[in-house]
Each structure stands twice: as structure tokens, then as C-alpha cells.
Amino acid sequence: MKRMKRTAPLFSLLIGLGLFAATFHSRAADWQRTEDVIYGRKHGVALTMDVFRPAATNGFGVIFMVSGGFFSSKEAINPAFFRVFLDRGYVVFAVVHGSQPKYTIPEITEDVHRAVRFIRYHAAQYGVRPDKLGVFGASAGGHLSLTLGTQGGPGKADARDPVDRESSAVAAVACFFPPTDVLNYGAPGEDAVGVGILKDFKPAFGPRSDTPEGRQQLGREISPVNFITAKTAPTLIIHGDADRLVPIQQAHLFIEKAAAAGVPTKLIVREGKAHGWPNILDDLPLLADWFDEHLRGLKPATPAP
């Protein structure tokens, strides 16, 4: 969630998050990219995703939240982030959502629920199981991933659009350094709903964050920790203990509450790491292992950290 000018292009999501991307050498025989798949429309504007399909699929799909600071852009889609998943046969859906400052977090949340419903409705077309979708992301993308893991659910049975009748639930979540409780941000009672540590991201919270009462209501609504139940998707979080933008306390809050609810969880702490680190791509096999275990029922292939 690195601060950036609104007009500055995002050449990669990893740049947007303050991370470092690796060069990705494409081999046409390995995978196929379908760009600008329209999964919905909002106020006359198309919502799109890019779909990466390996030559040999394993029958499962994972959804990547293209989001840094709740800003999303097609230019932020970095295939380097998907290599390990494609190599294991996963179909990857890179979802671009409406961005702040035009749209607020609740409106962005609507987009990602719609994206999951769209993927589930078209699962047969993409060769993936509709009941075994995973989601991953980092920072704001991690928050959106946890939002789906805790609040994904049935669509409207009477919706005119059959896509909206589908569930937005996911079967597994894996993410990096996500905000989880913006009303207890770094310490009990610490309000970060467009103020404090997250003051630079106020546009994402919208006008409801102008008053203490509005912040309290909004903060409860957008904090995934408040929606944990026994049905929450199995969750992996990787977080640096020197992160000043998203305190590691946020990961501990979520993991402890989810574990108490009986949800399969795992927290991997990267000592001395801040909000992203140069070799973060080396941690992606751990996310793929999580999906292998909780989507495919396989034992982890990567040695435990």
C-alpha cells in the first residue's frame, strides 16, 4: 500500500506494493493469457480480469487480487507473480477492481465478490472446480482476499443476471501483510479508518470516515476479523515483523481469532522485513503449497520455514 500519486501509472502490482518483481520469460507452450475478460460493469465502465491458463491444468483455479493501496490497474498485472501457480497447473485469474479515489472500499468489495461469482459461473469453461477456488494477494489485495474468505457467500436467488445467483465463497486464502482490523490497528482502540497510519489512504475510506461515528461503523464493516466463523476459509498469512504500514499485530489478531474458531490457519513471520522484501517471490511456493493442501488435498512440497 505504498503511497503514490493518483496519476502515476502502476507498471506492476509489486511496484505498487513497494516490492521487487522478477523477470518473467514467457514460453507460449507453457500458458495462454486471455486479456480483458469482462466480469461486470459499473456505471458504464467495464470491470476486467486477465486469465492465465497453463497448457496442462490441474483442474483448480486461484484468484489474484490486483490491488495496492486499493488502487487497481491492468498495468499492475505482473505474470512473474503467477509462475509457480502456472507451473503446478493452476488457472490464475488476475482481477482488476474499481480504484480509489473514485470508489471506496465497500464499493471495491462489491467488485471482487462479483469477480468470484463470474469465475464460478464460468468454471466449466475455464476447466476449474467451482467449489474449490483459492484467492491470494498482498497488502490491500490481502485484505480483499480475507474479505472473500470471511464474507464470501450465496448470491441472490432471484437476480436477473445468473452470475449474481452464484456464491462468492472461496475455499482457501493465502496472502501477504493484510490489514485485518482497522479499528484496532497496531494497538487496541487505534483508529486507522482514513486517519492515523492510514491517513494517506483516506480516499479509499470515503466520506464516512470524516467523523468518529462514521469511522467506527465503517471500520467494523470492512475489517475481516469481525466476520470470522467456523466456516471461514483456511488462511495463510506471511508478514514481516518490521512492517510499519500494516503492523504484524494485524496478522496475529486474525490468525488467533480464526484458530479459536477452528479454522485451519498458519502465520509465517519474516523477521526484520517491512512492507515487502526483495526476495518475496521466493515465498510464493508457500502460497502454492497452501492451495495444494486445501484445494487439492496434497501434502506441502516446500520445506516448512
Number of structural domains the chain divides into = 1
Residue 115 domain-assigned? yes
Cβ-based neighbour number of residue 242 at 10 Å = 14
Angle between helices 105-121 and 212-222 (to 10 degrees): 20
Residue 112 domain-assigned? yes
| Low pLDDT (below 50) residues in the chain | 1-26, 28
The CATH number assigned to the domain holding 254 equals 3.40.50.1820
Question: pLDDT at position 27, please?
Answer: 54
Contacts of 211 (CB under 8 A, 6+ apart): none
Q: How far is CA 10 from CA 5, 49, 74, 107, 118, in A?
A: 10, 16, 8, 21, 25
Place of cell 482502540: 189
Question: pLDDT at position 22, please?
Answer: 40
Distance CA 155, CA 152 (A): 9
Q: Coil, strand or helix: which one is 281?
A: helix
What does pTM read for this prediction? 0.91
Q: Please give the residue range of the domain that contains residue 100.
A: 13-21+28-181+223-294
Residue 50 domain-assigned? yes
Question: pLDDT at position 17, please?
Answer: 43
Residue 46 domain-assigned? yes
Question: pLDDT at position 272, please?
Answer: 97
Q: What string of DSSP letters covers 116-127? A: HHHHHHTHHHHT
Residue 215 domain-assigned? no
Question: pLDDT at position 299, please?
Answer: 82
Distance CA 287, CA 193 (A): 29
Question: pLDDT at position 296, please?
Answer: 97
Q: What is the DSSP letter of 186?
A: S
Residue 303 domain-assigned? no
Direct distance between the N- and C-terminal alpha carbons of the chain, in angstroms, rounded to an integer: 25
Residue 243 domain-assigned? yes
Residue 132 domain-assigned? yes
Q: What is the DSSP letter of 302?
A: S
